[in-house]
Chains A and B, each alone.
Chain A
Amino acid sequence: MTDTLLELKKISKTYPGVTALDGVDLSVGRGEVIGLIGENGAGKSTLMKVLGGVVAPSAGTIVIDGVEHGELTVKSSTKAGIAFVHQELNLFENLDVASNVFIGREPRFGGFMNLIDQATLRARVKPLLDRLGVDFGPNDLVEDLSIAQRQMVEIAKALSIDARVIIMDEPTSSLTITETERLLAVIAELRRSGVSVIYISHRLSEVIACADRVVVLRDGKRVGELAKGAITHDAMIRLMIGRDLKALYIPPQAPPQQGGLRVEDLVTTAFPDRKVSFEIRRGEIVGLAGLVGCGRTSVAQAVFGVDPPIAGRVLIDGRSIRTGSVGAAIDEGIYLAPEDRKKSGLVLDLPIVENITLANLVHYARGGLVNAGAEKVAAEEQRRKLSIKAPSVDTIAVTLSGGNQQKIVLGKWMSMRPNIVIFDEPTRGIDVGAKSEIYALMRKLADAGVAILMISSDMEEVLGVSDRIIVMHEGAVSGLLERAQFSEHNVLTLAVGGTIPEKAHAHA
């Protein structure tokens, strides 16, 4: 273990306006399993991209086998024996296991004809699979394999290039418990044979189970390290939190009113064995927190009708409404500002005015024909109210900044009659100034009697903007927090599946 394989020294990475990494040190010894943890956006992925040669650091050095590098390329990273097992797997589903393992490095024969030497290929892959103890062979098609099996193919691929460090980014996010245990067993076996693993996970119990050492990142900084004996849930959570919060909170003008959105026993396609229930009153902003992949977006999409729920009821002001179609949701005044603005929120190639009126075009039409004048009046009104910065409402949406694009999405819904507005990551990719504008607009909507659900992975935003917080874990609501209970510790504890003792109601 004293044998240091690679060392990151004072690695920093800055993007315009954002510091993703700030002087991070990380050393990896031979046969060591390092748990790398931190909240969403703490810089884990960026750090690993630096190691993989995808991102060049702004400062710092990388030492591999005693040789210093200013940055790595994908090629030099691979050559140094660093391999990734990605969160979204990068396999060719249409090819078999052996072809995937040696893709781009196929053994060849036949001179200039470059034929693939299938026999050698398979003979080389077989022992790798044996070593991992998997239940499939080199000739199986990847599309017939489960996600856990595909992960093993990725690991075999890493072993095939004699990887000395394998980086696993959330490897268990879609695995069952038994599959997870198998993976942990494989990690143990890798360690025995001298391969190091950097294990990134939100699942702290897995980190406890497999890591020799835990490194914690927060806001791009390395904030602590835990040695084997000191790795506990509490110690990790304590290190992950502790950011100083800026005062984002705008208090509501009046206490929340009766009525609003009520979701009862909602079952989404993403988690068919979990039920979700919660309530949002008119006039309040409720934050929906949780780790990536915990089912928050699925809930939003089920309520909005994009991905119809399997079961459950949605009620507005106590009245049960029809679910399962976007049209029906919009008719009821349930609106969604989706996570992926450019893909789902806007038609980027259309002008501002056509985007704003798109969901309510019938309102601007008589006899099926659109009244362009009326459209323009409505769009101008939204442009003024939301201060959308554009030369005119005829400007094509694609040319605007993220903040202004988000305002167009907002303008689309505010030009109608909102009862419930769901914001999915409302300020992702938006600069600081525009962020506070969006928050102010959300509060204004709430004060006008709208019930607001805000899904956010940004802890600062969740704690700073919400009146109440619902926390989800693995497809179910794991707790509710009132403003007095707001703390990163509480949110995070609920998000990783823990419970907090003081009067937090456990749901479902």
Chain B
Amino acid sequence: MLKKELGLFVLIIVIGTITAAINPQFISIINLSNLANQIGLFGLFALGLGFVIITGGIELSVGSMLALLGIIFLDMLVNHEWSWPIALIVTVAGGTALGTIHGLLVTQLRLQPFVVTLCGLLIYRGVARYYTADSTMGFGYGSGYETLEWLVSGRTGIVPNTFIFFVAVSIVMAIILHKSVFGRYLYAVGKNEEAARYSGIPTKLVITAAYSIAGFLTGLSAIYFVFYTQSVSPSAHGNFYELYAIAAAVLGGCSLRGGEGSIVGIFLGTVLLQVLQNLVNMLGIPSSLNFAVMGAVILFGVIADREFQRRRMRKIMIATRTPTKPAQAVPAG
């Protein structure tokens, strides 16, 4: 089962080694630290999106939510001078609420996840731009939130706190997905919702919860990104970020048909994506080719994965058919 993740890990090492060989700057402390920071930032909400994808759904509104929640957070902190714990709680609660609404629309009204979250993408972006009259919002001379600032954009030694936090959340999410009852239900619902229902699993609740968790993590990410960019320009902040998360999940072995994927995979998928971004800079490839490189690598990865899986499936079929066949011919009693 872990073969896929191992392959991804090897790929990262290979790409990293080649890049480092061409440009030793790649493994300089400062670059690696930067890279870790990027991984932490983009990985956090990818974990949530992974949950949604495992249920067979999709969440397209992440980027717009980052913008809207970022603006709400800044507004509370800077303009209304609320204390940061309250601003943080409200922002995260807001993200959770939006995710929950998406989940309810999908499960209760039986709308397609693509449509629901596409509408979310448009609505939240629009509201964010309207609320700020399309002008950039920043911290200005606000103060009183130094602790939070250190937590979300500081470093412990040379390791960025974003990365530490990402690792910690990954571990928690891995336990939930791979060890808990809820995690098992996610896989079952994603693979065969009907059979899950026939087993008494509250499928609607499980699916809604996946969207809520994605919203929760997006709410947290919104705060991280505000401190990373130091300001929020409502028309550009977070644009396309959902696609990074989807790409990371797919690279990490999630199937958009649902029921497949792992946290290690999503983690490594995020790492690979950010390494690719970084490599474009390091190798002096024109940065306008950034997306093209990313797209090509994902496409290649998915095709390779398909081939491996086909072979594995065939092997399973052959291996299990042969020994069981004669045994079945023996009638009972």
Contact = CB atoms under 8 A, between A and B. Distances in A.
Contacts of B185: 361
Contacts of A391: 319-320, 323-324
Given A361-B181, A370-B181, A432 B199 contact: no
B105 interface: no
Interface string B174-205: 01000111101101100110111111111000
B2 interface: no
Tier of interface size on chain B:
35 or more
A41 interface: no
Contacts of B109: none
A431 interface: yes
A432 B330 CA distance: 10
Contacts of B194: 343-344
A441 to B, nearest CB: 9
B132 to A, nearest CB: 41
A390 B333 contact: no
B229 interface: no
A348 interface: yes
B316 interface: yes
B133 interface: no
The interface centre, meaning the residue of B180, B184, B202, B333 with most chain A CB atoms within 10 A of its CB, is: B184
A361 B199 CA distance: 10
Contact of A401 (B259, B319, B324): B324
B197 A306 contact: yes
Tier of interface size on chain A:
35 or more
Interface in A349-370: 349-350, 354, 358-359, 361-362, 365, 368-370
Contact of A358 (B182, B188, B321, B327): B188
B304 interface: no
Contacts of A330: 199-200
A412 B188 CA distance: 14
Contacts, number: 108
Given A361-B184, A362-B181, A436-B333, A347 B320 contact: no
B331 interface: yes
B195 A433 contact: no
Contacts of B319: 391
A350 B329 CA distance: 25
A440 B332 contact: yes
B198 A338 contact: yes
A437 interface: yes
Interface stretch (A68-76, A141-149, A159-167, A392-400): A392-400
B188 A433 contact: no
A433 B329 contact: yes
A94 B53 CA distance: 30
B181 A358 contact: no
B296 interface: no
B192 A389 contact: no
Contacts of B198: 304, 306, 326, 336, 338, 344-345
Contacts of A349: 191-192, 259
A358 B196 contact: yes
Contacts of A354: 184, 188
Contacts of A201: none
Contacts of B180: 365, 368-370
Given A349-B259, A361-B184, A368-B182, A344 B195 contact: yes
Contacts of B147: none
Given A365-B181, A400-B324, A433 B332 contact: yes
B191 A350 contact: yes
B84 to A, nearest CB: 31
B317 interface: yes
Contact of B196 (A338, A347, A370, A396): A347
13 contacts: A329-B200, A343-B195, A345-B195, A345-B198, A346-B195, A347-B188, A347-B196, A362-B181, A391-B323, A400-B324, A401-B324, A431-B328, A437-B331
Q: Which 6 A-B pairs have the closest CB atoms?
A: A433-B331, A437-B332, A330-B200, A359-B199, A399-B320, A347-B192
Interface of B: 175, 179-182, 184-185, 187-188, 191-192, 194-202, 259, 316-317, 319-321, 323-324, 327-333
Interface of A: 304, 306, 326-327, 329-331, 336, 338, 343-350, 354, 358-359, 361-362, 365, 368-370, 387, 389-391, 395-396, 399-401, 403-404, 412, 431-434, 436-437, 440
